[in-house]
Amino acid sequence: MTAVDGLPFLRACRREPTDFTPIWLMRQAGRYLPEYRDLRARHGFLDLCKTPDAAAEITLQPVRRLGVDAAILFADILLPLEAMGAELVFAAGDGPVFPHPVRSREAAAALTPLDDAAAEERLGHVYEALRRVRRALAGRVPVIGFGGTPWTLASYLVEGGGSKQFAHLLGWSYRDPEGLALLLDRLADTSLAYLRGQLRAGAQAIQLFDTWGGILDQERYERLAVPPVLKILRGLRAAAPDRPIIYYLHGGSHLLPALARLPVDVLSVDWRLPLSTVRRALAAAGSGIGVLQGNLDPAALLAPIPEIERRVVELLAEGSGGGHVVNLGHGILPTTPVENARAFVECAQRLSASVPAAAR
Ligand code: CP3
């Protein structure tokens, strides 16, 4: 029996005391797991995403293997873009490709924004996978739903795939900021409908992934990227006021004063700043965000297990003095040995349990 009732991950997101510091790993469902690679050898990535049985099974794999405190639905942030009519291809060994990138107001206007009914119709497979995961977990482990922020979604849609320089997106942002804002607003409406569907299907928390917000300076981040994010956040709050919202930003240490004002429960950060520094920056900006998620460098899981354990001690100390959910600072690397991921989870749970909640 645990001393405190309720799921530790959800309690920690709400800054309630827990018996230990909960942990899950970004990209925990995926290529470092042999059982995922088995399935992937026989099926395309998008086919797996669109088959509720497979997506549910892949979601559960890391829960069984690692004993994490939250499941994250196996899906992708790019699925709603395909549902809006943008052709999306995952070629073998490559990342995502949009063969017809959206680079003008006309192309943006040709995308179909999804309302709740259209999201149910076109992305119902995601919701069905979520319902199956909820049934299989039977309340033992909570399930996180997720989406990308409009800026990060646009970075793939406008560039036509992954990018190093983001010349099309950034060029558009200087040439025609109002036109780009229309696209971002459209992506916000669709994202909100998509995420509301995930809440209806049983997602117990929502994480927004902002992988590329950090390419902007603070002033342009606030002007371009934040307004569509606020639209989503306000809509999520209205739909489910008590489900925690986690905001993940990669490479955005310089944006902390802007992030401090977001109406979210948890801020998830990369490894570039220690958690104590992030916490101080948020406090200095008068932030209401009391919980941090992160932030081990995913490459640290490639080290021998005693080194991982040493890093966990450090990470738990850094995370103390406020709410903390242990995680990586970005997705787990495909070359991570499963036993190292398992050791990270086990160490974080065991070592944090030996410290009383009040002292964490
Ligand atoms: O976290 C999880 O385990 C849940 C599932 C999940 C996936 N993608 C599955 C996936 C989540 C939460 C994502 C988020 C995602 N997708 C982001 C934001 C987080 C981040 O990592 O920055 C982004 C930018 C994408 C877009 C995307 N999907 C890219 C760039 C790629 C290719 C390169 C890569 O990182 O894997 C994908 C493919 C993808 N998404 C895979 C998985 C398991 C690998 C597909 C394969 O098996 O080949």
Residues in the chain: 360
> Does 228 fall in a domain?
yes
* C-alpha of residue 55 to centroid of ligand 1, in Å: 13
Average pLDDT over residues 55-84: 98
Question: Which SS3 state, helix, strand or coil, does residue 207 take?
Answer: strand
Question: Which SS3 state, helix, strand or coil, does residue 344 take?
Answer: helix
Q: What's the pLDDT at 319?
A: 97
> Does 2 fall in a domain?
no
Is the per-residue pLDDT at 4 higher than 80? no
pLDDT band for 6, please (50, 70, 90 cuts): confident
Peptide bond into 295 cis (omega under 30): yes
Q: Residues of the chain with pLDDT > 70: what percent?
A: 99
Is the per-residue pLDDT at 109 higher than 80? yes
CATH number at residue 130: 3.20.20.210
Q: What's the pLDDT at 5?
A: 67
Is the per-residue pLDDT at 266 higher than 80? yes
Show the tokens assigned to 133.
């995961």
Rounded Cα distance, 79 and 108, in Å: 17
* C-alpha of residue 233 to centroid of ligand 1, in Å: 22
Average pLDDT over residues 227-235: 98
Rounded Cα distance, 45 and 162, in Å: 17
Residue 320: how many other CB atoms lie within 10 Å: 16
> Does 186 fall in a domain?
yes
**Number of separate domains in the chain:** 1
Among 283, 200, 211, 212, residue whose Cα is nearest residue 240: 200
Question: Which SS3 state, helix, strand or coil, does residue 7 take?
Answer: coil
> Does 62 fall in a domain?
yes
pLDDT, tens digit, for every residue of 200-227?
999 999 999 999 999 999 999 999 999 9
* C-alpha of residue 70 to centroid of ligand 1, in Å: 17
> Does 67 fall in a domain?
yes
Count CA within 13 A, CB hemisphere, residue 47: 7
Average pLDDT, the chain: 96
Q: Choose one of 35, 38, 76 to mutate for the ligand 1 pocket test, by most ligand atoms within 8 angstroms of C-beta.
A: 76
Q: Choose one of 26, 27, 269 to mutate for the ligand 1 pocket test, by most ligand atoms within 8 angstroms of C-beta.
A: 27
Among 75, 42, 217, residue whose Cα is nearest residue 143: 75
CB 70 within 8 A of CB 22: yes
Average pLDDT over residues 17-21: 96
Nearest CA to ligand 1 atom 48: 45
> Does 151 fall in a domain?
yes
Q: What's the pLDDT at 357?
A: 85
pLDDT band for 91, please (50, 70, 90 cuts): confident
pTM above 0.85, yes or no: yes
* Ligand 1 near 45 CB (within 6 A): yes
* Ligand 1 near 47 CB (within 6 A): no
**Closest ligand 1 atom, CA of 26?**
1
What positions carry a catalytic annotation? 27, 31, 40, 76, 156
Is the per-residue pLDDT at 3 higher than 70? no
**Longest alpha-carbon distance in the chain:** 60
> Does 3 fall in a domain?
no
pLDDT, tens digit, for every residue of 147-199?
999 999 999 999 999 999 999 999 999 999 999 999 999 999 999 999 999 99
Domain range enclosing 163: 8-359
Show the tokens assigned to 60.
């559960």
> Does 175 fall in a domain?
yes
